[in-house]
Structure 1
């Protein structure tokens, strides 16, 4: 299949489940950034790696942008009933959420920690990110709060796709500018919100705040699907993202995170346009048939495991710290990092193979079909799950 856009070069759409393999590969690197963030803060720091990943919670933003991009690219031109779309999304995220939440609660109970039944219920009902309470936000599995945001994105996605402005090139350009300005205004609004839980909830968790990130992904996905060529290439976009995280290092030394204009909130809000460019550039490279080094066999496997890795890695960290405490010295810290990464990845691979993928297929198979029509065929698997900011 090709997208033929007036004035644009026709782009070939690869066939198969991973039709945009570089995006699947990027999922692993974004997940690794988040895992390194949690390891740095909960286990111990490794010079160089920890400085770069100290605000690796920005990986949340990457996955929210990626979610909007892939959904828009996949469903552009397809007449899919809302109930079918929502059933697919439920099948995609909820089974593994339920299993990992049960695992997380079991670990907490085994460690003698109290567990809030209301918080667990809010997690499973995908509403905990709407509640400005730390116990409720962390829910049954602290890493699962972002699925509450994703559930909101799924609800508004059919509405966004029906907007005339989203369907036109000029409208998408205006939305792009407005969304970029919007994330800056959201960051500036931190000056008006009390420090502590109220500000963290409003700027980090609240689905309404995060919607701008999803929206920017949607307009970028539609633009690429219709022949838009990003203004920069893939590796220039990677350089911008790395450069942004390098800028956060001296910023964190100059301004405390407790202040609204510190790098804590800026790390995920102001990174939104950079991640949108990165995702668009990677997708365009795939559609143009260029090799990116991100779509190899193992990159695809690791990308498939990334959702489970999000939901499992913090549980492994929790068990290790409870049993062994925080290591002393860089060599011991590096060993613990390696153990946690290997163990959590192995568990994630098992969860993907024996829980996530088969249950998704079963739930999808039992649902109603979709009439054939224009647009893309099939459904690109994606991950838009993120992790808890500390």
Structure 2
């Protein structure tokens, strides 16, 4: 089923040479900063804190929330109106995430074994089948590659996405606005529901990992991506949106000193559940800047390269931290902590670059050629007015495609 969208702004001519995944280049650049927040979070809590940096990154795990919002935004913006069968869409997503998941899970299990810790087969199987976040068992949830839990949530989002795009609740601007508001409000209610869960372990799983809980963030991203795709423009620019995100993390510092993380109203769960609207504003502002040809400081060659490596970096960095701790032990004093941070950052990022160029990207391309593809359609005579924009020429659009799940 298709619906006519209003004319949308075309990209600046300079963007035409970009590859499909970089047609909104500022979003690629933002991926690196979100991954860096997660990496700094783990470095702070496992290798020891650094002044100022660790204060800001103490709840950097909210970078995962950013990725969930970004995933919904990019998929909705890319596939809106696209005629891509569900099986082809799902195969593309499998090719995107599973090869590197399998590679890093094998590396993680090997490192655990070298350190004398066996990983149960059920944990490895759950990770490779992308179902581990559904199980409230820490051994299963984190037994393979601990960082990979979010891919279980992503796999659920991918299964849900074709159905979401076919629902009426996202087809009008009013419906999209209502959906975004309800998704943001739902996340607040989920956070407040923590008061009803007295077991800290169950509460942590239900609020932080459970795919149904995190679906609200993905849905917010989908609604926002469709809104931008159909002409909505955020009132905030990239700079003010970044400032709002920074202010949120600054607010968490006194909150952290006032309320322990173990309490349901502490900043730990709030940092992840309540930041999604700010991330949606940031992603929308960055996408709009790209569409209108404005510079954001996020779309340079180095930013794109780091953005490409961010997925591998996210999956590899915790393995490197584990090895550093095993070899050097916990650092004593600021110089030793800074040195170990530098070593872990450098090695993990170098390995991420290697993994991207030698495994992630080539395997994704290879798997895509082996799987189902969208049907090729002959171009129909154009009925557009001269002032209308060709939607298939916009960034991220597979030419000649319509809605996922429709053939």
Task: Bin the TM-score by the shorter chain.
Answer: over 0.9
- Of 33, 40, 50, which residue of structure 2 is paired with 1:36? 40
Indicate yes or no: 2:373 matched with 1:369.
yes
User: How many residues end up aligned between the 2 structures?
Assistant: 377
- 4+ residue runs over 2 A deviation: 8-16, 371-381
Partner of 2:175: 171
Partner of 1:266: 270
Indicate yes or no: 2:270 matched with 1:286.
no
Q: CA 1:9 to 1:108, structure 2 compared with 1: closer, same or farther past 3 Å? A: closer
Instruction: Report deviation, 1:375.
Output: 4.8
Q: Is the 8 A contact 1:122 1:139 kept in 2?
A: no
Q: Is the 8 A contact 1:195 1:260 kept in 2?
A: no
- How high is the TM-score relative to the length of structure 1? 0.94
Instruction: Report deviation, 1:12.
Output: 2.6
Q: Is the 8 A contact 1:213 1:272 kept in 2?
A: yes
Aligned equivalents of 2:357, 2:394: Cα separation in 1: 20
Partner of 2:403: none
Please give the secondary structure, in 1, of the residue aligned with 2:348: helix
Aligned equivalents of 2:9, 2:159: Cα separation in 1: 32
Q: Is the 8 A contact 1:40 1:54 kept in 2?
A: yes
Partner of 2:254: 250
- Of 276, 295, 299, which residue of structure 2 is paired with 1:295? 299
- How high is the TM-score relative to the length of structure 2? 0.90
Bigger Rg over Cα: 2
Instruction: Report deviation, 1:10.
Output: 2.6
Q: Is the 8 A contact 2:11 2:394 kept in 1?
A: no
Instruction: Report deviation, 1:140.
Output: 0.7
Aligned equivalents of 2:58, 2:311: Cα separation in 1: 21
Instruction: Report deviation, 1:217.
Output: 0.3
Indicate yes or no: 2:225 matched with 1:226.
no
- Unmatched runs of 5 consecutive residues or more in structure 1: 382-390
Instruction: Report deviation, 1:165.
Output: 1.5
Aligned equivalents of 1:9, 1:352: Cα separation in 2: 33
Instruction: Report deviation, 1:372.
Output: 4.7
- Unmatched runs of 5 consecutive residues or more in structure 2: 378-389, 398-407
Give the superposed CA RMSD: 1.7
Aligned equivalents of 2:96, 2:148: Cα separation in 1: 14
Indicate yes or no: 2:334 matched with 1:330.
yes
Deviations 1:24-67 (A, max 9, x none): 00000110010000000000110100000000000010000000
User: For 1:1-390, what aligned pairs fall within 5 Å after superposition?
Assistant: 6=6, 10-12=9-11, 14-15=15-16, 16-17=18-19, 18-372=22-376, 375-376=391-392, 380=396
Q: CA 1:9 to 1:366, structure 2 compared with 1: closer, same or farther past 3 Å? A: closer
Please give the secondary structure, in 1, of the residue aligned with 2:315: helix
Q: CA 1:81 to 1:5, structure 2 compared with 1: closer, same or farther past 3 Å? A: closer
Instruction: Report deviation, 1:226.
Output: 1.3
Deviations 1:326-362 (A, max 9, x none): 1111121111111111100000000000000000000
Please give the secondary structure, in 2, of the residue aligned with 1:12: coil
Instruction: Report deviation, 1:203.
Output: 0.2
